[in-house]
Amino acid sequence: MSTSVAPPSPHDTLPPPQNPSPSKKIKNTPQTNDDDEKKEEDSTSDSTPTTPTPTPTSDSLANLPKPAPTTTIAPTIAPKPSPVLNRCIIMFSPNYVNSLTFLGNRRGDGSRTDPTPNRLTIHGDRDILLASLLNEYLLPPLQKMGLIVPVSPKMCNLNHMLKFHKKEYLDVLQNGPTNPSDLEDYNLVDDCALPETAEGRQQLFRYLQSMAGASLHAVAMLQKFSSGVKKTTTAINWGGGRHHAKANSAGGFCYVNDAVLALHGMRQKFGKTIYVDIDIHHCDGVEEAFENDDKVVTLSFHKYDMGFFPGTGESVGKKGKVNVPLPGGVTDDMFKLVFESGLERIITAHAEHSSPFSAFCLAVGADGLYGDPIVGLDGWSLSTRGLAESVRFVSLLCKRLKMPLLILGGGGYKDVNAARTFGVCTVAACEAGREGVLSRLPDRIPDHEYFPRYGPSFSIHTDETTKGDYGSEVGRRGRRVWAGVEVRHHEDEAQRGAKRRAGSSVFDVTM
């Protein structure tokens, strides 16, 4: 069976993972901040370069992407030191967002083609909403402050995926089943249905290359810019965090486990790594992948209950894997208490009794929010403030302990609330660069393309105000999702939003 990769994509691909060459030190030539910024943007841009780009001479991920050559003219004026010592990068570009909002001739429940083909039903408009929120509201002021740099992610290829996944599984993902039992055997059914057409599978695989490539590229960027004037200590891929996929099977809307692939890279580049997962579902795919590996410690906070997906995570696993099974109804305050004390204890215990961690990976699901339509009314009662507080805590912890931090996304099935969460958490991730920036975020979402979708509160946060809005529709929408009916935004919500378009808030950059 052929294992050829998907056709050329709209964005670059990562070089193959084999035969990694020794990592190269970043040239620490004094330069202006603007020059530094320009080089990174040039080297990662989607646009066609106007000058030839040097051909990569190594297969190592660590060599991606190469900065433009530095000037040989000695500066006559000493460069101003950057006020931002802990910069964040976010894997983000129009091509990448498009690849996330693909696809498929099947609905989330596996039923046949719907009226909007080429869309993966379960993610709906989440990534489009988030992209607009970031582009038009959150990123510009953060960029102006020098706190964050958008980087256009590269795609990975089959060889990168083979670092964890089995070849026969990837064969079926790309080329379809060859035996009648293949789809069941690899769990490519229901929420992880495989498109029946070659074109559909091609689109699916391209999405997986983009999503996993972004996580791997983020790790490479963390290593590449871990020193220098504008040190990058945090990298975000909100499209990632597909923590349920196993080496030989899909599960829970996850086909390829980018978290496992990224953790392999972090373990190799930085050493002992802690993976912390605050999606409401247990990170079964990640825990299983590292169950015999004491260089990657997983710590999962999740809901555990009879019949609750995926049914694992009740107790501590092998090699010190830690699970914190929680009941339904957990609030922000409860979660903060458990999360912060649990995390501190694990970090301290490893530092005192074995060896300290060198790197941190945090997976943030938005399905712990109150009223998530997939989880239902028995889920958690978190808000954007609670999840962002966890990200802020980890950001400052990693700054204190001088650990690179990779942040991934996860579940979250009410599109506007997932967009809100990942938007607010982007700001929270910049706390390492400038403490207090999260508290400067205005509550009201300004007018932008999808403004009506955030009604009636038009708040960037989910809180008591918005609970009344979406809480009442939870049961109805949850049942509709499981019935395979695409969840669309409501016309009446849009109309209410249009009426409330009055003024817009500005994310004040003055600090």
Q: Is 367 in the site for Zn ion (CB under 5 A)?
A: yes
Q: Is 411 in the site for Zn ion (CB under 5 A)?
A: yes
Question: Which of 365, 404, 409, 423 lies at the binding interface for Zn ion (CB under 5 A)?
Answer: 365
Residue 82, class by beta-carbon neighbours within 10 Å (0-12 exposed, 13-18 middle, 19+ buried)? middle
Q: Which residue is nearest to Zn ion (CB)?
A: 411
Based on CB atoms, which residue is closest to Zn ion, 11 or 281? Answer: 281
Site stretch for Zn ion (CB under 5 A), options 67-75, 120-128, 269-277, 366-374 = 366-374
Q: How far is the CB of 268 from Zn ion (least distance, A)?
A: 27
Based on CB atoms, which residue is closest to Zn ion, 229 or 280? Answer: 280
Determine whether 264 is an active site residue.
no
Question: Which of 107, 126, 165, 281 lies at the binding interface for Zn ion (CB under 5 A)?
Answer: 281
Based on CB atoms, which residue is closest to Zn ion, 281 or 453? Answer: 281
Based on CB atoms, which residue is closest to Zn ion, 259 or 441? Answer: 259
Site stretch for Zn ion (CB under 5 A), options 97-105, 204-212, 262-270, 363-371 = 363-371
Q: Is 125 in the site for Zn ion (CB under 5 A)?
A: no
Pairwise CA distance, residues 295 & 103, whole Å: 36
Site string for Zn ion, 240-279 (x = CB under 5 A): ---------------------------------------x
- Which residue from 398, 381, 390 is spatially nearest to 438, judged by alpha carbons? 390
- How much of the chain is helix, strand and coil, in % rounded to 5? 40, 10, 50
- Which residue from 260, 268, 447 is spatially nearest to 358, judged by alpha carbons? 268
Site stretch for Zn ion (CB under 5 A), options 18-26, 221-229, 317-325, 411-419 = 411-419
Annotate 51-86 with DSSP letters as a single string.
Answer: SPPPPP----GGGPSPPPPPP-SPPSSPPPPPS-SS
> Could you tell me where the DSSP H helices lie in 48-178?
94-100, 126-133, 139-144, 158-161, 167-175
Q: How far is the CB of 283 from Zn ion (least distance, A)?
A: 9
Based on CB atoms, which residue is closest to Zn ion, 104 or 409? Answer: 409
Residues 6+ apart with CB under 8 A from 265: 61, 216, 219, 220
Site stretch for Zn ion (CB under 5 A), options 99-107, 139-147, 410-418, 501-509 = 410-418
Beta-bridged to residue 29, according to DSSP, are: none
Residues that contact Zn ion, how many (by CB under 5 A): 5
Reported residue count of the chain is: 511
Pairwise CA distance, residues 346 & 301, whole Å: 13
Catalytic residue among 11, 165, 243, 244: 244
Q: How far is the CB of 142 from Zn ion (least distance, A)?
A: 27
Q: Strand 148-151 and strand 405-408: pairing? A: unpaired
> Could you tell me where the DSSP H helices lie in 375-490?
384-401, 415-428, 464-471, 474-482
Pairwise CA distance, residues 43 & 484, whole Å: 42
Based on CB atoms, which residue is closest to Zn ion, 288 or 431? Answer: 288
Q: How far is the CB of 369 from Zn ion (least distance, A)?
A: 11
Q: How far is the CB of 280 from Zn ion (least distance, A)?
A: 5
Query: What distance lies between CA 142 and its chain's CA centroid?
Result: 18
Q: How far is the CB of 422 from Zn ion (least distance, A)?
A: 14
Q: How far is the CB of 97 from Zn ion (least distance, A)?
A: 21
Q: Is 455 in the site for Zn ion (CB under 5 A)?
A: no
CB atoms within 10 A of CB 168: 15
Residues designated as active site = 244
What is the binding site for Zn ion (CB under 5 A)?
A: 279, 281, 365, 367, 411
